Amino acid sequence: MNLDSMQEIVAAARREGKRFWEIILETDMENRGVSRGESLDKMAKNWHTMKEASEVYTGERRSLSGLSGGQGKLMHDYAAKAPIGGEFMAQVIAEALAMGESNACMRRVVAAPTAGACGVLPAVLIPLYWRENLLEEKMLEAMFTASGVGAVIAYRACISGAAGGCQAEIGSASAMAAAALVHLRGGTESQICHAVAMALKNLMGLACDPVAGLVEVPCIKRNVVGAVNAVAAADMALAGIESRIPADEVIDAMGEVGRRLPMELRETALGGLAATPTGRAVKERMASSKKKQRVLTIKDARWRLEKREPQGSK
Amino acid sequence: MIDVFDIMGPIMVGPSSSHTAGAVRIGRMARTLLGEKPVKAEVYLHGSFAETGVGHGTDKALIAGLLGMATDDLDIPNSFEIAGRRKLKFSFEETELRDAHPNSVKLVLTGESGRKMKMQASSIGGGRIMVDKLDGVDVSFSGDYHTLIIQNLDNQSNLSDVSTALSLARVNVANMSMHRSAKGGNVMMIIETDDPVPGYIVELIEKQPGILQVIHYVKED
Ligand code: SF4
């Protein structure tokens, strides 16, 4: 089936007596002409990559720009010291930071839906997986649920900062994560939709304004707000709270807001935080260090070429 | 139709699908098109690749791709050192390419047999790429399909030979285009197929009169 409306996926699930995630799985099988096992395996690879990225994170790495690194570790240590939002929430925050940093530090991540927003989904899935001793099977179901939501958003609106601002990246990731959480806690199809609607509503209008054009500031910490918002939206939906505006309409509205965002707030690094005095200073620093590095590299490479020596400059 | 695994995935080394993953794919594509191990690479960065490339590791990603690494290879950040060990010499320069996508790069490669190749490509978002120029000829293919790149003399019409060969193997053609640099110059045929082309068909095409070279790019998962 075409993954172009939440309502239709839910209707299909009801009609066929299946769950939301099964409809997504079957759509993938049909689309790519693969077996159920192959589709599940591919999703398992994504899940394992997320878990591994979390396990190998130490907080020691720094990004090429020097802007990021180590914050996930700080938050992780703080989680044991009676954090305000409780230990679980602190773990969610720590995981979101760790994953965003891993991306910035050129480690392996799963774009979900984008590399910039790669921390949102694992930030809610991994702590819950450990706390509640969930089965891997369940996690894959949750990830298919999330992918279906992302596919609808990509179809009806957009999922890139350049097209629709950060609401399209972190907002979409947050809606995907909220849906995954509702599924993991045994929520209904209609609760999934309400969670999606609420998560996306809460982040509507968010600008994409990366400092120096790099996926670091504010991106890494935006993964935190995406994750925490997902937990809140899922809890609200599970509590029986409904979104007054249906999910598909919220998604359409997000797309519309995205189109109206000025170019300066869509990944061009010309507005918002990128245009603050500090943001601009970072950009200038990067430009001058780049020049130094570039000149050295070229000279080095030329010299080595002439000398016919192996190139090993850094 | 949106692929569910374009939403959940790809698995990649960060930080940016366009500036890092796409750059790796461009390097890998260039290596495939060269058809052999590159020993020298001159890299010309354009637009946003030149501007924010260092912060995104675009330079390291391009070299990683030239070394044959995939987009999820954890050695991407160490590609400069690995290039040193594998005897790939490289240099970077910033440049202005005419009418090019903001994330573009021109690569001038020399292979171990001395073969030279020029390729211009762009990273068009989400890790997807487009080859825009090959040895001075304007082309346009993405590597989203299995692709045959056939160079032949202009005065020979090989189109029918090629399509006969392909239909022999029941290979379904998705797109086909012809490009040439100038009237009377050599022609480049780009054929994108749904299935990979069997090796013996590639050889068969290679043996036709007027065909200078055939490269088969096999799509990656
Ligand atoms: S600010 Fe822009 S680049 Fe950063 S996470 Fe948000 S959408 Fe992505």
| ipTM for this model | 0.90
**Considering Cα of A207, then A212, then A213, then A219, what sign does the dihedral take?**
negative
User: Confidence band (pLDDT; 50, 70, 90) for A311?
Assistant: very low
pLDDT digits (tens, 9 = 90+) for A207-250: 999 999 999 999 999 999 999 999 999 999 999 999 999 999 99
pLDDT at A307 (0 to 100): 46
Q: Which domains does chain B have, with CATH numbers?
A: 4-135 (3.30.1330.90), 146-217 (3.30.70.260)
CB atoms B92 and A298 under 8 Å: yes
> Alpha helix (H) ranges present in chain A?
6-16, 20-32, 36-56, 71-78, 86-104, 120-131, 136-156, 161-164, 166, 172-184, 189-202, 219-238, 247-260, 277-307
Could you tell me if A282 and A239 lie in one domain? no
Q: Which residue has the tokens 């293919």?
A: B141
* Residues 6+ positions from A264 with CB-CB distance below 8 Å: A270, A271, A272, A275
Q: Chain B partners of A103 at a C-beta cutoff of 8 Å?
A: 14-15
- Asked if residue A169 and residue A135 are part of one domain, the reply reads yes
Mean pLDDT to the nearest integer, A60-81: 96
pTM of the shown model = 0.89
- Closest-CA residue of B relative to A302 is B91
**Res. A262 pLDDT band, cuts 50 70 90:** very high
Residue A1 within a domain:
no
B74–A65: do the CB atoms touch at under 8 Å? Answer: no
- SS3 for A275? helix
Question: Which pLDDT belongs to residue A1?
Answer: 87
Say yes or no: A297 and A227 in one domain: no
pLDDT value of residue A68: 95
Instruction: Tell whether A284 and A236 lie within a shared domain.
Output: no
| Residue range(s) defining the domain that contains residue A124 | 6-268
Domain CATH for A252: 1.10.4100
Q: Are residues A221 and A291 in the same domain?
A: no
Q: Are residues A140 and A168 in the same domain?
A: yes
CA-CA distance, B155 to B76, in Å (whole number)?
44
By C-alpha distance, which of A173, A143, A185 is closest to A49? A143
A200 and A300 in a single domain? The answer is no
Handedness of CA A145, A261, A227, A116 (dihedral sign): positive
**Alpha-carbon distance A287 to B140, whole Å?**
32
Interface test with B, best of A4, A215, A302, A306 (most B CBs within 10 A): A215
Residue A112 in contact with ligand 1 by CB distance below 6 A: no
Predicted local confidence at residue A303, as pLDDT: 46
Residue of B nearest to A177 (CA): B8
Ligand 1 proximity of A170 Cβ (cutoff 6 Å): yes
- A269-286 pLDDT per residue, tens: 999 999 999 999 999 998
Distance in angstroms (rounded) separating the CA atoms of residues A100 and A93: 11
Residues A18, A117 within the same domain: yes
Q: Report yes or no: B221 at the A interface, CB cutoff 8 Å.
A: no
A86: Cβ contacts below 8 Å, ≥ 6 apart: none
Ligand 1 atom showing the smallest separation from residue A165 Cα:
7
Q: Distance from A230 to chain B by nearest Cα, in Å? A: 17
Q: Is residue A314 over pLDDT 70?
A: no
Longest dimension (CA), chain B: 49
Q: Under an 8 A CB cutoff, do A150 and B76 touch? A: no
Q: Looking at residue A298, what is its pLDDT? A: 47
Give the count of alpha carbons within 13 A of A216, CB side only: 23
Tell me if residue A114 falls in helix, strand or coil. Answer: coil
Count Cβ atoms within 10 A of the Cβ of residue A300 and give its class: 0-12 exposed, 13-18 middle, 19 or more buried: middle
My answer on whether A184 and A262 are in the same domain is yes
Structure tokens that stand for A288 in this block: 């001058």
Give me the mean pLDDT over the A15-36 stretch.
Answer: 97
Verify that A297 and A200 share a domain, yes or no.
Answer: no
Placement of tokens 């590299």 in the chain? A297
Return the best residue to mutate from A160, A209, A211, A222 for the ligand 1 pocket (most ligand atoms within 8 A of CB): A222
Give the model confidence (pLDDT) of A116-160 as tens digits.
999 999 999 999 999 999 999 999 999 999 999 999 999 999 999
- β-strand partners of B11: A110
Asked whether residue A184 is assigned to any structural domain, the reply reads yes
Alpha helices in chain B (DSSP H): 4-7, 22-34, 47-56, 58-66, 79-85, 159-168, 199-206
Q: Is A12 exposed, middle or buried (0-12, 13-18, 19+ CB in 10 A)?
A: middle
In a domain, A150, yes or no: yes
Nearest to A179 by CA among A255, A257, A236: A236
Number of domains in chain A: 2
Which parts of B135-186 are beta strand (E)? 137-141, 146-152, 173-180
**According to the model, what pLDDT value does residue A295 have?**
47
Residues 113-132 on B with a CB inside 8 Å of A are 125-127
Share of chain A above pLDDT 90, in %: 89
Q: Do A194 and A45 share a structural domain?
A: yes
Residue A173: per-residue pLDDT: 98
In sequence order, the β-bridge partners of residue A110 are B11
**Residue-level pLDDT, tens digit, chain B, 221 residues:** 789 999 999 999 999 999 999 999 999 999 999 999 999 999 999 998 998 888 899 999 999 999 999 999 999 999 999 999 999 999 999 999 999 998 999 999 999 999 999 999 999 988 899 999 999 899 999 998 999 999 888 766 678 888 889 998 899 999 999 898 776 677 899 999 998 999 999 999 999 888 988 999 998 76
Token pair 């994330």 is found at: B103
Position A12 in a domain? yes
A247 and A286 in a single domain? The answer is no
Q: So what's the pLDDT on residue B184? A: 67
Question: How far is CA A22 from each of CA A26, A28, A181, A189, A219, rounded to the nearest angstrom?
Answer: 6, 10, 16, 12, 32
Contact between B11 and A110 (Cβ < 8 Å): yes
Site to probe by mutation for ligand 1, drawn from A109, A169, A254 as the one with most ligand atoms within 8 Å of Cβ, is: A169
Chain B residues close to A112, C-beta within 8 Å? 7-9
In chain B, % helix, strand, coil (3-state, to 5) comes to: 30, 35, 35
What is the per-residue pLDDT for A291?
A: 61
Residue A19 corresponds to which tokens in the numbers above? 């769950």
